[in-house]
Structure formats: C-alpha cells, structure tokens
A = this chain, B = another copy of it.
Amino acid sequence: MKVGIINVTGYAGVELARLLRGHPEAELACVTGRSSAGQRLADVFPHLAPCELTIEPELSPVDFAFSALPHASSAGAIVPVLGTGARVVDMSADFRLKDASSYQQWYGVTHPASHLLADAVYGLPELARDAIRGARLVANPGCYSTAAILALAPAVKEGIIGPRVIADAKSGVSGAGRTLSLTSHYSEVNENFSAYGLGGHRHLPEMQQELTALDPALGLQLTFVPHLAPMTRGILCTCYGALADDRMGTGARGQAALLDLFRSFYAGEPFVRVVDRPPQTKQTWGNNVCLIHPTADWRTGTLIIVSCLDNLVKGAAGQAAQDMNIMCGFPETMGLEALAVYP
C-alpha cells in the first residue's frame, strides 16, 4: 500500500517516517515539505537515510495519507487528498473537535472544512475502534489528550470519580515541535521546569469532549495544566478527582479493586498496560505503549491516576500508524511491536 506524509519535516512527521520504514504493508512512497522541498530526506534527517526519499513539494497519488501540517493548513491540504479516494489520518487538531464553533473559539480561525467534521472520527482506538475501522478521515488525538483521556476514561465511564477533575501533565520539549522558539532553546529549557498554558491549553476541549461523551451526566469540570520538563520525549499525566463513593474500599483492598477496574476496562488492549507501580516515561521511550497506574489518597478520598507515554509515538505518530492499521484491516500492532529503548 502506497503511503504519503504531508509535511514530514516536523518531529511527528519524521517519527512517522521512522515507524513506517519498518511496517511490512505500508510503503512510504512520498513525503512532502515546504521549505525543504527538493532536498534528500537523508540530508535533512540523517537517521532516515535508508528511506532514500527526496522531499517533494506536493503529494503524489497514494492509497493512504497522513497530514503532519499545522492546524488550519492541514484541513485545506486534506480535502483534495480525500477527493482522490485516499484515506487520511490528520495529525493536526483540525478534525478533533466535533463542533466548528468550539474550533473557532480555541483556535481563533474559522474552520477551513467544517463540512468534513461529521465524517471525521476522533482516533483514540481504545475508545473508538469500530468507528475508526470504517472511517475515511481520522483525527489523531493530541499528545496530552491521549495521556489524560486514557487515564481518566475508566474512572469516568465506571462512575467512580466526581465531576471536578485536575489533569496535571508534564511533557518533554519535542512536543513543542521543531520550529525555533526561545521556549525550546536549549540553554533556556535545560535544568528548568515550568508550567504554561495556564489560561487554557488547546488540548483541553478535546479531553472535555471525549470524557464527557463517556458519561454526560457527570457534569465533568476538567482543569488541565501542562508543564515543560527538561527532556526530549515523554508525557506523564497525573490526574486527581474525588472518589465518587465508597465502592472501591480503601487501603490494599481499594488498591486491588482499582487495578481490577482499570484492567477490566483495558482488557485485550495491545498498547495500554495497567501497572502495579508508578510508571516512568522512559519505560515507553520510542514505543507505542501507554502505561497507567491508578491509586488513591485514601486519607482524603482522592483518586490519583498516573499515565505516561511517548508524546511522539502513542501521542502522535505511533497512534496515527495504529489508526492506519485499523482503517486498513492490518493487525493493529503491525509495525509497532518495538520495545521501548531503555535506558
């Protein structure tokens, strides 16, 4: 199957190229880029030298395309690709929010292709596998959103958490992309830790939308604060909310019940692992796994759920490839079997 990547030159794009290089069914046939068009991929990204591709100005015909363009640009570029009959995973935010007015509110522009919103599927396989299977356009979830939604979904769906929820997330710097900025400048970020997006981060409405859909009656009120950690890859998300009732018990028995509930929820999932001990981002470095550890501060009745993943893999390119596998009927783990690189 011929596959293309629109705008390969960001970190999500090159990570996807890396993953597709090892995929038995996907042949990476075309990669595009704007400022780098005409250059050999090997010259811009030496680690991709074996791909032996040149960065093209425009996408040639493919069976399946990924867009790694920024939001607003992405939707415009996808419309003609869909017109050729190719299926598409959009890694931008353009098709994540079902509501065009919400998109306008959070992204500050009119949606460039709102007629496609009804068709687009929010591509979190653990919650929407069937819908993804039949979709021709899948919106790849945000990196933070993947970590927060996977952490909170079992608690919301099973009704064990109250409506006021905090998601305190910590991300490596690659999440900010390859575009130069002082906030990604080495000497500014190294040995430094900060909170940002306190006025409202754009991944919040996705989280609110997807979690609300699991239990509209909860009246979820989600506060999300992202932080920047001095590392390249990895997101760890610590979620807090009041335990809804006494159903879980407390102490060791409560802990066992929480693990059971989460393990049942994710039974059979190839890329979610519910773990006994607090996970570490490095345990997912370079692979498509999301680790989740539910626990509680029994003293105050506070549910605490810690999740982590590699923001460029399960948080971006890996999940996109997983969506492709589902959409195309390949085994869901195809090309994504690699273990994390540790240490």
Contacts and interface: CB of A to CB of B under 8 A. Distances in A.
Interface of A: 11, 14, 18, 21-22, 45-50, 164, 166, 168, 170, 172-174, 178, 180-182, 184-196, 198-200, 221-223, 225, 227, 229-234, 236, 238, 240, 242, 273, 275, 278-287, 291, 295, 297, 299-302, 304, 306, 308, 337-343
Given A187-B343, A280-B192, A338 B22 contact: yes
A43 to B, nearest CB: 9
B18 A342 contact: yes
Contacts of A283: 46-47
9 contacts: A18-B342, A46-B280, A47-B341, A173-B187, A174-B343, A180-B181, A180-B185, A187-B343, A194-B281
Given A173-B186, A186-B184, A195 B238 contact: yes
Nearest to A19: B339
Contact of A190 (B173, B188, B227, B295): B173
A68 B339 CA distance: 20
Given A166-B302, A283-B47, A190 B338 contact: no
Contacts of A222: 300
Contacts of A337: 22
B11 A339 contact: no
9 nearest A-B pairs in the assembled complex, by CB-CB distance: A192-B282, A47-B340, A187-B343, A194-B280, A180-B180, A221-B300, A173-B186, A47-B342, A286-B341
A182 B11 CA distance: 13
A33 to B, nearest CB: 14
A168 B238 contact: yes
Contacts of A281: 191-194
A180 B338 CA distance: 28
A324 to B, nearest CB: 18
A48 B339 contact: yes
A182 B185 CA distance: 9
Contacts of A343: 11, 174, 187-188, 190, 232-233
Contacts of A304: 198, 223, 225
A193 to B, nearest CB: 5
B187 A178 contact: yes
B166 A240 contact: yes
Contacts of A193: 170, 172, 229, 231, 234, 236, 280-282, 308
A233 to B, nearest CB: 7
A170 B229 contact: yes
Given A180-B182, A181-B180, A231 B192 contact: yes
A284 B191 CA distance: 11
A279 to B, nearest CB: 7
Given A186-B232, A194-B308, A198-B306, 12 more contacts: A168-B168, A168-B238, A185-B185, A186-B190, A187-B343, A192-B231, A192-B281, A192-B282, A193-B282, A194-B281, A195-B306, A225-B238
